[in-house]
Chain A
């Protein structure tokens, strides 16, 4: 077994990739061939060969495989029940909600309990781990993704082993009896420590302390968090080996130098401290990886056992996945192990480093390169310059910020003037540093928007990376350069792919009640949007960014889109133009095209101006040609003195089909267009106004005879769209209907030979 633990860790890793990609036989085959190679070159014996091979099957059954059809619903949805069970997690508190995991007694399933109640009471929520509760709330299964590249909440919960959610209205609906449990005590201790830090320290310092020592990021300014995320620095905000290492160094220093303990005693203390610390630090997988790794190292020193680093990492990996099979789906877990493995395997290369800077660069390079395909898979981009920035930021954090935050735990015992002095020093210096990163962010923020990465490309990437690293290890620099070039070529291929693809798409995104269409021409000759709606707050009428963040942005990034050639905004209603401001902020938009009667006082319009958008007014009968593609403006003919009727009506040919985008026009305007443009062929019509009965005129349908009608409409919307009579009318005229509320996003996919319509949800 010794020297071979990694075989089982890899077997688990491969089987989970096989589960996620659905390529069972491919991975099993590769696994088998590799083991055969190891066996015949006498690296492993027959027992190892057989057990490693069959462990693949074991893990394949061990990890839960997501099947949307087979997701169990232990309770009917949307009904209020009283559930009884046990709290089995720490209580997570944020500004607007409180949540925890709950083991329900009857079904023995784990449920996520959420209490949306910004009342002071929930802050004082007195219950903790292992409390027995009766909870009155509504059962919900988490929503599934209905758009390409959208984060799939249902899958996420499933992979975390949670069967559903209980939404609780008021803190009074949760009645528990606390029971003693060591975990409960630790969690309570953590809560008190956090509370104490908040009370005694400057809020900014306490925010950093909470994040870097206790693994609670809620105190970090959101802008800073996003900044760190953009620049591949998030690993600093999640507690990992770096943090644990620094904290252990400080603890060791104190107990050996100051308290004069013996080394053996110190080791025993640290061994007991580590698991407790992992819990105090929020119990994220990266903390567990780092703490358990330290535990293994210490035990080995103690017992004088010898194990290779890869063995140690594998043992920690296997311990964690056997402890909780769901942890393997955790993004932080995957990143953490992949980076550590890369660093371990590169030790020979690190030895070749000429100086500290060189070493820092090498470490940063490996850490970033290891996760590129995963980063692309989850986030659709990566930041190449992050490698350089890390070289500066990591030492700053490890030498200053993290030790300072740890030492600041003692600040409540220091005199006030000293605390104020130290705090001011920290805040000034840290502000300077964050401003420095912000300045870099402004100057050279050039993320590499890759879109979704295919399994094949990811395999090529890792193959060339491994070959390059083998060559570098052996100082075969010419080979290393060759493989490095192949690696670069692979990455280049990822960006160039859309430009050499003959496939084009028209996508009706499912954004709920509202419109958002994305048109992508073949060979990426042009990317156009027609509308970008948002949901909005019914009191303030402010657009929310959730549609943008959860639907529009992931779709565009998933397709590797950074530049939008033009956005047509049909009219000034938030369900059609609420997300435009966010799109302008995050993407390179060349032009926004609106109808001629657009209200210049419209708040969104003003925001766009401030964001520097170039705005064009399109008049009826205009032919708008952008990137060689023409859109014909069929309306509005004149000012209808009604925003819906003033909608920009667009006619265009895409993928040999003729399209009519109608915005929210009413029946009268439809008739007007039908009589003016009766000679036009229409294959696909965007059904006006989400299927409202004020639109979809019979005369209009009779004139154009469209084959397909696309309806963008919210599930169970408050207007009752689409209306039954509209659907009947469409049916009478033989129009095949596609609708977002039932089918999710709808895509028209075409190339030179064929074209087809594909709804995201198959029903």
Chain B
């Protein structure tokens, strides 16, 4: 029997007009859990995908001012809104090592890449945000890499360009600490291709911009980002 990856309840496929004939997709979450995942709906900030009525949210305006109009990050795309349910789910996935749970997001990640970055991906490379060595040893896998692998079937598109020096968990820092922290990344290789950065959560956007700044400075033409969750 097919059970929900989150709550372990049996999953009942309710057919609709399409799935009655096609047999329907293999569901990983039950109806009740699925309904707790909040997908991001329009209207959103065109730049960072925060749900917002103005085209450019206050966060992004602040970043514009910070970089004096030269924000290294072109655009971020996200799939889900941050809520308690998702917080728990991501915690179980990345901190407690439930690797399979990540596959719950696969269909949405594929859809988002196809919808937003289909044209871009012909040229661009996907760059997951790395974990530091000690974190990697602790968790056994990098969630950003896992997302990148779900985003494309072409493994060659995924390249590692960074190394992480800082060991501190982002989640334990304040907003100000994050924004003014020193750049935790070190560039290993340079690239002249457009880059799509991949991370699990966009909270203030600092991490992505640290990475983007390094890339731009070393000759990368443009930096985009995909984050599973927009906090």
Contact = CB atoms under 8 A, between A and B. Distances in A.
Nearest to B18: A470
A43 B13 CA distance: 12
A469 interface: yes
A309 interface: yes
A122 B15 CA distance: 51
Interface string A6-22: 10000000000000000
B12 A310 contact: no
Contacts of A466: 17, 21
Given A2-B1, A41-B23, A43-B23, A308 B15 contact: yes
Contacts of B16: 345-348, 470, 473
Interface in A2-39: 2-3, 6, 34, 38
Interface string B26-62: 0000000000000000000000000000000000000
A310 B15 contact: yes
Contact of A43 (B14, B17, B22): B22
B22 A41 contact: yes
Contacts of B12: 3, 306-308
Given A38-B23, A41-B23, A43-B24, A306 B18 contact: no
Interface residues of A, number: 23
B14 A308 contact: yes
A349 to B, nearest CB: 8
Contacts of B24: 43
Interface in A498-527: none
A564 to B, nearest CB: 41
A344 interface: yes
Given A2-B1, A344-B15, A345-B15, A306 B10 contact: yes
A278 to B, nearest CB: 26
Nearest to A345: B17
A308 B22 CA distance: 16
B23 A345 contact: no
A193 to B, nearest CB: 39
A44 interface: yes
Given A3-B13, A347-B14, A310 B23 contact: no
Nearest to B10: A306
Interface of A is mostly: helix
Nearest to A307: B12
A118 to B, nearest CB: 51
A344 B13 CA distance: 12
Contact of A473 (B1, B13, B17, B21): B17
A3 to B, nearest CB: 5
Nearest to B1: A2
Interface in A330-362: 344-348
B20 interface: yes
Contacts of B17: 345-346, 466, 469-470, 473
A473 B18 contact: yes
A442 to B, nearest CB: 38
Interface string A299-316: 000000011111000000
Contacts of B18: 470, 473-474
Interface string A679-699: 000000000000000000000
A310 B22 CA distance: 14
Contact of A308 (B1, B13, B21, B23): B13
Contacts of A470: 16-18
Contacts of B13: 3, 308
Interface string A27-65: 000000010001001011000000000000000000000
A76 B20 CA distance: 50
Contacts of A309: 14-15
Nearest to B23: A43
Count chain A CB atoms within 10 A of each CB in B15, B17, B18 and give the residue with the most.
B17
A78 B17 CA distance: 53
**Most B C-beta atoms less than 10 A away, residue of A3, A44, A347, A466:** A3
Nearest to B9: A306
A293 to B, nearest CB: 15
Contacts of B10: 306
Contacts of A6: 15, 20
The CB with the most chain B CB atoms within 10 A, among A344, A345, A346, is that of A345
Nearest to A468: B17
Contacts of A474: 18
Interface string B164-189: 00000000000000000000000000
Nearest to A4: B23
B35 to A, nearest CB: 12
A43 B16 CA distance: 15
Interface in B131-177: none
Nearest to A342: B17
Residue of B10, B14, B16, B24 most packed against chain A (CB within 10 A)? B16
Interface string A383-411: 00000000000000000000000000000
Contacts of A41: 22-23
A309 B31 CA distance: 14
Contacts of A34: 21
A41 B21 CA distance: 12
A297 to B, nearest CB: 13
Nearest to A305: B10
A546 to B, nearest CB: 43
Contacts of B21: 34, 466
A466 B23 CA distance: 15
B18 to A, nearest CB: 5
A3 B18 CA distance: 15
B12 to A, nearest CB: 5
Contacts of B15: 6, 308-310, 344-345
Nearest to B25: A43
B112 to A, nearest CB: 18
Contacts of B22: 41, 43
A14 to B, nearest CB: 13
Nearest to A344: B15
B107 to A, nearest CB: 15
Nearest to A3: B13
Nearest to A472: B17
A44 B23 contact: yes
Contacts of A344: 15
A310 B16 CA distance: 9
Contacts of A3: 12-13
B134 to A, nearest CB: 41
A345 B21 CA distance: 11
B29 to A, nearest CB: 15
Nearest to B21: A466
A469 B13 CA distance: 18
A466 B21 CA distance: 10
A46 to B, nearest CB: 15
B84 to A, nearest CB: 25
A473 B19 CA distance: 11
A16 B17 CA distance: 22
A43 B22 CA distance: 8
A372 B16 CA distance: 20
Interface in A172-230: none
Nearest to B15: A310
Contacts of B20: 6, 310, 345
Contacts of B1: 2
A523 B16 CA distance: 42
Given A2-B1, A347-B16, A474-B18, 11 more contacts: A3-B12, A6-B15, A306-B10, A306-B12, A308-B13, A308-B14, A345-B15, A345-B17, A348-B16, A470-B17, A473-B18
Closest 4 CB pairs of A and B: A43-B23, A469-B17, A470-B18, A310-B15
26 contacts: A3-B12, A3-B13, A6-B15, A6-B20, A34-B21, A41-B22, A41-B23, A43-B22, A43-B23, A43-B24, A306-B12, A308-B14, A308-B15, A309-B15, A310-B14, A345-B15, A345-B16, A345-B20, A346-B16, A346-B17, A347-B14, A347-B16, A469-B17, A470-B16, A473-B18, A474-B18
Interface of A: 2-3, 6, 34, 38, 41, 43-44, 306-310, 344-348, 466, 469-470, 473-474
